[in-house]
Amino acid sequence: MNRLFDKLKPKENRFFLLLKEMTAIIESTANVLMECVKTQNIQQVAELFGAIKEQKHHSAVTRDKIYEELNTSFITPFDREDISHLASTLDDVEDMINKCVKRITIYKPKRIPAAAIELARLVGDAAQCLTQAVEELDTFKKHPAVINGYVEKLADIERKSDETYEAFVIDLFENEKDAIELLKLKETLKELERATDAARAVGRIIRTIVVKYS
């Protein structure tokens, strides 16, 4: 009887706690990322990567907890598929930051270009914005305009990230004559552009939720 009651009770708080945990992980990973791209010492990146791997694991575990809650709760604060999509796309952001740093440790590029720092800054901005948007989602009935502001900001960040990556690739193809170094840097920085893409996708999911529930 108690178990049924527990299943019927809205688990709003539980879902928000887990989603907030995911954005907190992303913010913290974005900070380590910045350290990684600022140092030119690949050995130090390899050490920092240990922390990022742990955070990535934590993110996947948290995402899986959300899935489990979805599968066992009768009532959810929003549409089941929207929450599931939110959790998996937040994990994508984390995953792409992780992949960027992993590539530095595996590829050992001769240099880390300035564009990597610029992109890491944009990833950091997106991470902060995700935290704020998810925080606001918890109480969005009060301020839909605020939440839409965050969604717009995530789109802006993604556009800037796109331009930064594009300018970097143009420069790379003009100036890097070593095909293997070109490949390394192109693939490594691409992950950061993809991270802001995923953050923008999170924004779109949040907008969908706001439209449905306002």
Q: Scan for tokens 């995911």, then name that residue.
A: 22
Of the residues 9, 10, 17, 67, which one makes contact with a second copy according to CB under 8 A: 67
CB of 60 to a second copy, least distance (A): 11
CB-based contact 99:187 (threshold 8 Å): no
CB of 71 to a second copy, least distance (A): 5
CB of 78 to a second copy, least distance (A): 12
The interface with a second copy within residues 155-194 (CB under 8 A) comprises 166, 169-170, 173, 177, 179-180, 182-184
Asked whether position 88 contacts a second copy by CB under 8 A, the answer is no
What string marks each residue from 104 to 143 as x (binds a second copy by CB under 8 A) or -? --xxx-----------------------------------
Of the residues 72, 75, 114, 143, which one makes contact with a second copy according to CB under 8 A: 72
CB of 27 to a second copy, least distance (A): 26
Please choose, out of 8-16, 37-45, 67-75, 191-199, the segment that lies near a second copy by the rule CB under 8 A.
Answer: 67-75
Closer of 127 and 158 to a second copy (Cβ): 158
CB of 66 to a second copy, least distance (A): 12
Closer of 104 and 122 to a second copy (Cβ): 104
Supply 134's token pair: 């998810």
Return all residues near 111 (Cβ < 8 A) that are at least 6 apart.
40
Of the residues 71, 141, 145, 175, which one makes contact with a second copy according to CB under 8 A: 71
HEC letters along the chain: CHHHHHHHCCCHHHHHHHHHHHHHHHHHHHHHHHHHHHCCCHHHHHHHHHHHHHHHHHHHHHHHHHHHHHHHCCCCCCCHHHHHHHHHHHHHHHHHHHHHHHHHHHHCCCCCCHHHHHHHHHHHHHHHHHHHHHHHHCCCCCCHHHHHHHHHHHHHHHHHHHHHHHHHHHHHHHHCCCHHHHHHHHHHHHHHHHHHHHHHHHHHHHHHHHHHHC
Residues of this chain that bind a second copy (CB under 8 A):
67-68, 71-72, 102, 106-108, 166, 169-170, 173, 177, 179-180, 182-184, 208, 211-212
